[in-house]
Structure 1
């Protein structure tokens, strides 16, 4: 069963556990996801099955959209409501118009520090392992990109906003930074991922639907809709399935992944480099 399922992950379950449940329900050999959702978060989680597990890195690179509910006046050690409160601060000076302006400041390239309770690694070890052992370490700042951000509701101490952002963006860090810029502190009370690329909440499926056989399985070709494609000749097909590169004719973008197809199937992922040579990055299907 090669393909991708747009799962609506419920809250209070890890992404890994959600994937394992789908693997059991559908009785597949391999399953993985394309972008972790925190246990307390809910929403779109792309689950890759069997050979589609090999394309998860490309799906992970897609922009994400979230609906965020933040709680003003409270900071926790995890930057979300599941953590221990470490600070309380007055938030009465925060006004709606000011918050509109502050949100706009985050649009574009934005440098953030990942939460200490995160899977981000330092010296090969996830940060949360240091945190759980009480070992003080500094997370390295990283550049992310905020495509758009919009205030949806201002009802202090609760604030809701929508954000579309690049891969690797920690919404918990965004909320912590927003609280500081607003002259108070803040934490994430609720988080819902509403889209990954063009995979949306509206098109997602619950575990109950999947267990009842009511689900859509996106083919590898459909899931990689955002990559350019190249149709293989018989000779190129032979070379591609054996991982051998070849020179191509035509105008194909360089240095970005390309779907290499035959008979409507994606056989491999390649990249065009110098001299118009197609390098094979991943072989997805055999010659048959």
Structure 2
């Protein structure tokens, strides 16, 4: 019996903010949305573990060229720390230790510990992470029972709010810089409390610069597809330049656009900046460039539609 044929794909360019459900990897969720959109090319930014839910920016078509810039983004999470045990993976997916006594908690005692984790802190990345050592991902080594030394890294916890707590759980609201591991943060807080802790729930609320924007669940996307097909799904896409609202921009005339699209430098009397958005006279976002002190515009990313 032959397999069902994959529907023909089409060029799709833009960004969709998915509310990733529990139980799916970021790649699995991406492929489901890509199938619905019938998109030729797709990628995600800032992976979420299967046990985490929340905002996952998905890039389609030429927007995939912007993925690297979104990986630098600050993020915000709601997480639940379960106290009194530690996990081999830092979350409820791993093997849990024997229960340890939990001290009597008060808002004052918890806040005193949380204060030491605000601002710039040092973290040692967990073994269960996608970082590489000698070409192998750490989680692959961890599954073989191998633990290797990891260098600490500086991350920034810009906000750390105690939303609620009981005798065994802390609910935390965390705003942090790129490279922050919430599992490690929770483990370190548990150690500071003297009882250990692991992440039992994790939801990503925001990814800069998409703070406050609507996300779509898989069920919502399926329903939209049933009602209006890909035309309805296209309405969920953000324009590509929504990923870079903080960058300056310049409008180029037709001859300049032609040179940029060939990868050539052009003269551009603008202040020197490391990255600038490029538009044609019709307002189409055509790429990113860099302007040097000698008023030369060098293309860095050029979009082909």
TM normalised by structure 2 equals 0.88
Taking the aligned partners of 2:141 and 2:270, their CA distance within structure 1 comes to: 51
Taking the aligned partners of 2:113 and 2:249, their CA distance within structure 1 comes to: 41
CA apart distance, 1:101: 2.4
Instruction: Tell me how large the CA RMSD over aligned residues is.
Output: 1.7
Q: Give unmatched runs, 5+ long, in structure 2.
A: 1-11, 225-231
Q: Which has the larger radius of gyration?
A: 2
- The runs of 4+ residues in structure 1 deviating greater than 4 Å are none
**Structure 1 9/250 Cα, relative in aligned 2: closer, same or farther at 3 Å?**
same
Match of 2:297 in 1: 278
Query: Does residue 230 in structure 1 map to residue 250 in structure 2?
Result: yes
CA apart distance, 1:92: 1.8
TM normalised by structure 1 equals 0.93
Taking the aligned partners of 1:122 and 1:68, their CA distance within structure 2 comes to: 28
Deviations 1:54-85 (A, max 9, x none): 11111222210000111011100100011101
Taking the aligned partners of 2:105 and 2:298, their CA distance within structure 1 comes to: 54
Q: Which moved more, 1:259-268 or 1:156-165?
A: 259-268
Taking the aligned partners of 1:78 and 1:71, their CA distance within structure 2 comes to: 14
The question of whether the paired residues in 1 share the 8 Å contact of 2:63 and 2:240 is answered with yes
Looking at secondary structure, tell me which structure has more strand per residue.
1
The question of whether the paired residues in 2 share the 8 Å contact of 1:149 and 1:163 is answered with yes
- Secondary structure of the corresponding residue to residue 173 of structure 2: strand
Match of 1:105 in 2: 116
Q: Give unmatched runs, 5+ long, in structure 1.
A: none
Query: Does residue 259 in structure 1 map to residue 261 in structure 2?
Result: no
Taking the aligned partners of 1:243 and 1:118, their CA distance within structure 2 comes to: 37
Q: Which moved more, 1:204-213 or 1:30-39?
A: 204-213
Deviations 1:216-244 (A, max 9, x none): 11011223223222211223212211112
The question of whether the paired residues in 1 share the 8 Å contact of 2:270 and 2:291 is answered with no
Query: Does residue 121 in structure 1 map to residue 126 in structure 2?
Result: no
Taking the aligned partners of 2:222 and 2:208, their CA distance within structure 1 comes to: 25
CA apart distance, 1:100: 1.3
The question of whether the paired residues in 1 share the 8 Å contact of 2:287 and 2:299 is answered with yes
Taking the aligned partners of 1:239 and 1:228, their CA distance within structure 2 comes to: 20
CA apart distance, 1:198: 3.8
The question of whether the paired residues in 1 share the 8 Å contact of 2:127 and 2:147 is answered with no
Q: Which moved more, 1:237-246 or 1:185-194?
A: 237-246
Match of 2:155 in 1: 144
